[in-house]
Structure 1
């Protein structure tokens, strides 16, 4: 019997393709929330003080905040469109990989983990790299590897002798001319799409 440790999903396609854009979107939405909240709060305060709506609309501070609010609201769709456009090709590539995986365009290897090692690289040695062999196939999980964060955070690959079944894809089987080969290790030219662990 096998327990699933990892599988490449449609949600991951979106998250990985947008990447840093998620932070930008989140930050922009936060600004939008603050601006609108400030605008409504000031309007409510001025109305409470002056009562007359015409006087509120003529207040200089109100005019400034209203202008900023309008600009931010109008700019929001533009910001979203720019982020989507910038990451469009990456998303198409991840989506392509996902669809090929679901079509069964992958290999399966099963056995015990061998030659397992973990080391750190980078200027500050903060990039964790995991290397191991399984059933004669070599895998390297590094910073650019599609499932690196997932495997690192959940410690999917743990030790020599661990009994696993891994589904993986090869670069050579995909359309290199049409899509960016996101997620494939430069040395092994493969990408893991599913990991299962044998349990007693």
Structure 2
């Protein structure tokens, strides 16, 4: 009797599609996942991008956190990057606790100096349009997988934490020049931690 039950259970689990248990495929070097759930982490600190309340409610600041991004089921810490026109992207919360996502936005009152925020997604709001730019490489160096997140309206700024250790708020930092960004302005974008 035991062998029969064991054989039936083994057969039942053997029919589960392999895709269900595998993690999403990693993006090719120098690229990032689009239309997949991702975690965005700072390349210097390793802390991940999250809404202040670790939820998907609109009108709150964005910060970097050093805790588990999946702590609230990933709410407010798992993002989805959507391609829009002209090589730009919308970065919105993945719909985990709320069916309607909110979008990463520059600060409506101080677009180049205020804290980044999430607001109700609006396709007509250019403060929610971003460019995602790969870190420049030496001629023969492999891609690092690091990216700047640049507001489409303010290309000489990049999204970055205020400070790597003491201030978790995320705002826009002015690039040293159009090509050289502060080290804190680089991010890893990956789907390996978040479930799709």
TM tier, smaller: under 0.3
If the length of structure 1 is used for normalisation, what is the TM-score? 0.26
Higher relative contact order by CA 8 Å / sep ≥ 6: 1 or 2?
1
- Greater fraction helix: 1
Q: Report the structure number with the largest CA radius of gyration.
A: 1
Q: Which has the higher strand share?
A: 2
TM-score by length of 2: 0.26
